């Protein structure tokens, strides 16, 4: 199994523009003085008046541009939340590119103001070279970040939003699950049921969501203590007060909460990091929102099913039974809950089948999807797929009273309404 890497400490989003601002103010106040002392002959070739005019123009223009650009950007994000899943759009709103763009824009403005305050308009000596032309470099960097921001906001287009979501799903599937040919030993409860429970970790505080687990640290902790650690809540679950997070069975030493403080990464919302269900969840959200009576856009649901099929194809060819982690001697040390093949299928199909039951287009695309999975995936995946195919037939029979409509909705068609398979 490809164990998830240890999480790195990340700077909070608000800290990014704050860091840019602090460095810009320090550079604006200190760099001209430092350059004049170290390189007294360094000259920019511009007069003090011209330099002050340039700094003033860039500073005033950047603060106006920052306000306009980010007002429009967040307006676009808010508007797109009505068409897609709000969880997905908020994920884009927290993207680091946006915060770095804010930081560069603010840094350009603050550096221009701080450096301009130092310029002596009556001095005969021209302003120093590096301190003067640095503001031009910041202006060019701002243009580059503006282009990157436009590229990031272009993800709000439907096809790019779907591709963005499924790409995160493919990445976490690749990192989490081994190939289907790999031999995986499932956990046997008898291996730890006889051991006494020596420690129980519970959640305290307001509701939080498990975003990731530090599996290597968890395995090291269990191995060094000779215990079996059973994780009760999985990635993506929401923790409430006094909810049991894990139990320790056996062990050679006493545990405290600090030993597990960095095992669970929790936050306000789910993330893609170790949660392959989340990508499918967001694609299903987009599909069922498109199928709502207010929007009534089954073609978007079909496009979502295209991406869902790709993720299910990849999951179906991998070993999903990875919840038992053992030490080098083969002794069970950690048990972590992971979704099964049935869990993925129910998440992918049930809500779309229910909300799209009256759409011939959606029914045809779902039938083609299930039929393709049955043809292409290993035989042990077929039973669950046939179960969902039977439920699809039941939905069609209950929704379409006319025999011709039933027949039309039961045809395999990858486009929904395109080129049906005979």
Give just the sign of the alpha carbon dihedral 92, 94, 95, 98.
positive
Q: Pairing state of beta strands 227-231 and 264-267?
A: unpaired
- Please check whether residue 169 is in contact with residue 272, taking contact to mean a CB–CB distance below 8 angstroms: yes
pLDDT reported for residue 349: 96
Domain boundary assignment for the chain: 15-156
Helix axis angle, 382-399 relative to 341-355, nearest 10°?
10
- Please check whether residue 112 is in contact with residue 28, taking contact to mean a CB–CB distance below 8 angstroms: yes
What tens-digit pLDDT sequence spans the chain (422 residues)? 455 554 444 556 778 888 999 999 998 888 887 877 777 766 766 777 778 888 888 888 888 888 888 888 777 777 766 667 767 666 666 678 888 888 999 999 999 888 887 765 445 566 778 888 888 899 999 999 888 888 877 777 778 888 888 999 999 999 999 887 665 656 666 667 778 888 888 898 899 999 999 988 889 888 888 889 999 999 999 999 999 999 998 887 677 777 777 788 898 888 888 898 999 999 999 999 999 888 888 999 999 999 999 999 999 999 998 888 888 888 888 999 999 999 999 999 999 999 999 999 999 999 999 999 999 999 999 999 999 999 999 999 999 999 999 999 999 999 988 888 76
Order of all β-strands in the sheet with 238-239: 238-239, 208-213, 264-267
pLDDT reported for residue 369: 96
Instruction: Name, in order, each residue with C-beta under 8 angstroms of 360's C-beta and a sequence gap of 6 or more.
Output: 405, 408, 409, 416, 417
């Amino acid at each position: 199994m490809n164990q998830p890497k240890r999480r790195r400490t990340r700077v909070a989003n608000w800290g990014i523009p704050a860091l840019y601002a602090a460095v810009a103010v320090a550079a604006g106040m200190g760099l001209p003085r430092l350059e004049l002392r170290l390189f007294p002959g360094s000259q920019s070739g511009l007069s003090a008046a011209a330099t002050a005019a340039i700094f003033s123009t860039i500073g005033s223009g950047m603060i106006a541009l920052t306000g306009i650009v980010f007002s429009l950007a967040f307006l676009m994000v808010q508007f797109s939340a009505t068409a897609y899943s709000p969880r997905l759009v908020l994920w884009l709103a927290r993207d680091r590119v946006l915060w770095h763009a804010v930081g560069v824009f603010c840094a350009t403005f603050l550096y221009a103001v701080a450096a301009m305050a130092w310029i002596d308009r009556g001095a005969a000596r021209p302003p120093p070279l590096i301190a003067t032309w640095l503001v031009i470099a910041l202006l060019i960097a701002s243009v580059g970040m503006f282009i990157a921001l436009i590229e990031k906001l272009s993800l709000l287009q439907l096809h790019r939003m779907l591709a963005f979501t499924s790409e995160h799903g493919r990445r976490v599937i690749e990192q989490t699950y081994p190939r289907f040919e790999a031999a995986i030993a499932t956990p046997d409860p008898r291996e730890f049921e006889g051991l006494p429970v020596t420690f129980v970790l519970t959640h305290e505080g307001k509701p939080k969501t498990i975003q990731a687990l530090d599996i290597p640290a968890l395995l090291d902790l269990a191995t060094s203590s000779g215990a079996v650690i059973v994780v009760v809540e999985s990635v993506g679950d929401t923790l409430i007060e006094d909810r049991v997070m894990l139990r320790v069975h056996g062990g050679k030493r006493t545990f405290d909460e600090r030993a597990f403080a960095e095992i669970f990464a929790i936050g306000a919302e789910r993330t893609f990091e170790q949660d392959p269900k989340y990508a499918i969840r967001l694609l299903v959200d987009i599909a069922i929102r498109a199928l709502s009576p207010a929007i009534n856009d089954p073609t978007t649901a079909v496009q979502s099913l295209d991406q869902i099929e790709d993720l299910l194809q990849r999951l179906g060819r991998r070993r999903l039974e990875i919840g038992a982690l053992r030490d080098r001697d083969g002794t069970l040390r950690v048990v972590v809950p992971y979704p099964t093949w049935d869990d993925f299928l129910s998440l992918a199909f049930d809500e779309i089948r229910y909300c799209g039951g009256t759409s011939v287009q959606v029914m045809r695309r779902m039938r083609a999807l299930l039929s393709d999975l049955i043809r292409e995936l290993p035989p042990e995946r077929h039973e669950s797929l046939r179960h969902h195919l039977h439920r699809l037939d039941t939905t069609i029979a209950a929704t379409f009273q006319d025999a011709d409509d039933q027949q039309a909705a039961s045809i395999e068609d990858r486009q929904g309404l395109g080129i049906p398979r005979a």
